Amino acid sequence: MNANYFLDTNIFIYQLEKLDADKYTKAHRLIAEGLVAQSAVVSFQVVQECINISLKKAEITLSHQDIKTYMENVLMPLCQVLPSKMLYGKAIDLQARYKYGFYDSLIVAAALEADCNVLYSEDLQDGQVIDGLTIKNPFALA
């Protein structure tokens, strides 16, 4: 597996909620390009978080059918990283090394496992490089 970039959960939530036009546009572009070019990847964790947030926690929640359709057409085609002993071990090591929370470390570990060059997230340190993976906040002002 060698995708160009990994998408964190917040990217999908901005696309689904459509509350911020600028963030929606940027999120939609990253997701659409990733699907068409097969250049984006997510992990099982992103799928789970996206479904959970969309059904219960989002400002605009989705119906069960809408999130099921989104899962089938968007999330699952991008999902390439599944849980494993090696993934959890890497996440624990990253947490100890970089002091991120465990779930953020699991996202970084998944992006590294997928051989991504970039991890798009607004939750981590923009510009930080971890083992050749660059974290970029796609919503930061350029």
φ, ψ for residue 140 (rounded to 5)? Answer: -70, 145
Q: What pLDDT sits at residue 62?
A: 86
Cβ pair 23, 58 in contact under 8 A: no
- Please give the angle made by the CA atoms of 27, 77 and 107, to the nearest 5 degrees: 60
Q: Which CATH number fits domain 7-136: 1.10.10.10, 3.40.50.1010, 3.40.50.300, 3.80.30.20?
A: 3.40.50.1010
pLDDT digits (tens, 9 = 90+) for 26-74: 999 999 999 999 999 999 999 999 999 998 877 777 899 999 999 999 9
How much is the pTM?
0.94
pLDDT digits (tens, 9 = 90+) for 82-131: 999 999 999 999 999 999 999 999 999 999 999 999 999 999 999 999 99
